[in-house]
Amino acid sequence: MYFHREGRNTILLSLTLLLAGVAVCYLIRPHVLIGVLLILPWAVLLGLVLWFFRVPPRNCTATANQVVAPADGKVVVVEKTTEPEYLKDERIQISIFMSPLNVHQNVFPVSGEVSYTKYHKGKYLVAWHPKSSELNERATVVVKQPNGTEVLFRQIAGAVARRICSYPKAGDSARAGDEMGFIKFGSRVDVFLPLNAEIRVNIGDITRNSETVLAVIPD
């Protein structure tokens, strides 16, 4: 396990606050209980920050037809809908909600070539709000598989999140399970699949990025 580079400054700040608390206690030498109470909040903060930015090892064994989860979290939407930004046709949407306690690294759900990317500034509605995919800060990425099928997925900021990190550019190679971005704090990822996709998850299922198979797309 390692800690994501997007958390470098936050981890450094949390560690500095903890060390400052320790230094104050050393200088004033308070009663042991008071010293613990002075240091404990900063220790808890550092622990939470390290937990949030953790990146545990994952093993992606997806076949060419399988779509893996791009994020850790809980499936909150599985429905037929129209994707209005790029595909502009009917698709099956699978949405994964990430709480602040989930791993927030995002990965490519399929392999192929990145054919489209776009970042949108926006609001910060709660991630499960029906309009969050249209109004919130978000980043859209489309990967074209070798057989020509395009899979669109969208990182969506939540009420707490204030920064979406999306690394791919059009023309980049994508491999299922490889890192493509990070969202700071609570958020959501939507995946839009062709109508003939065989869905392998249900609402309420818990996903692990790179490992949980969301669907199979027939040739």
Task: Determine which of 23-32, 47-56, 58-67, 109-118 has the lowest per-residue pLDDT on average.
Answer: 23-32
Nearest to 91 by CA among 143, 141, 151: 151
Residue 133: predicted pLDDT: 58
Report CA 147 to chain centroid distance, whole Å.
27
* Active centre residues (catalytic): 187
Q: Where are the domains of the chain?
A: 2-55, 66-216
Between CA 170 and CA 206 the distance in angstroms is 30
pTM over 0.75: yes
Residue 77: predicted pLDDT: 93
Residue 75: predicted pLDDT: 96
pLDDT exceeds 80 at position 36: no
Task: Report the pLDDT averaged over residues 48-57.
Answer: 89
Q: Please give the residue that has the higher pLDDT: either 35 or 156.
A: 156
Three-state DSSP at 28 gives: helix
Residue 7: predicted pLDDT: 79
Between CA 153 and CA 93 the distance in angstroms is 9
For every residue of 167-208, DSSP letters joined together read: ---TT-EE-TTSEEEEE-SSEEEEEEE-TT-EE---TT-EE-
Residue 129: predicted pLDDT: 53
Nearest to 49 by CA among 10, 17, 2: 10
Q: Please give the residue that has the higher pLDDT: either 200 or 27.
A: 200
Are the beta carbons of 168 and 107 closer than 8 angstroms? no
Average pLDDT, the chain: 88
Task: Report the pLDDT averaged over residues 34-50.
Answer: 86
What are the tens digits of pLDDT across the range 181-197?
Answer: 998 766 889 999 999 99
Beta strands in 40-88 (DSSP E): 54-55, 66-68, 73-83
The DSSP 8-state label assigned to residue 218 in this structure reads -
What are the tens digits of pLDDT across the range 119-128?
Answer: 988 665 555 5
Q: CATH assignment of 66-216, given 2.70.70.10, 3.10.20.30, 3.90.1150.10, 3.90.340.10?
A: 2.70.70.10
What are the tens digits of pLDDT across the range 117-175?
Answer: 999 886 655 555 555 556 678 899 999 999 999 999 999 886 555 578 899 999 999 99
Q: What are residue 143's phi and psi, to 5 degrees?
A: -115, 125
pLDDT exceeds 80 at position 31: no
The Cα angle at residue 120 between residues 188 and 167, in degrees rounded to 5: 70
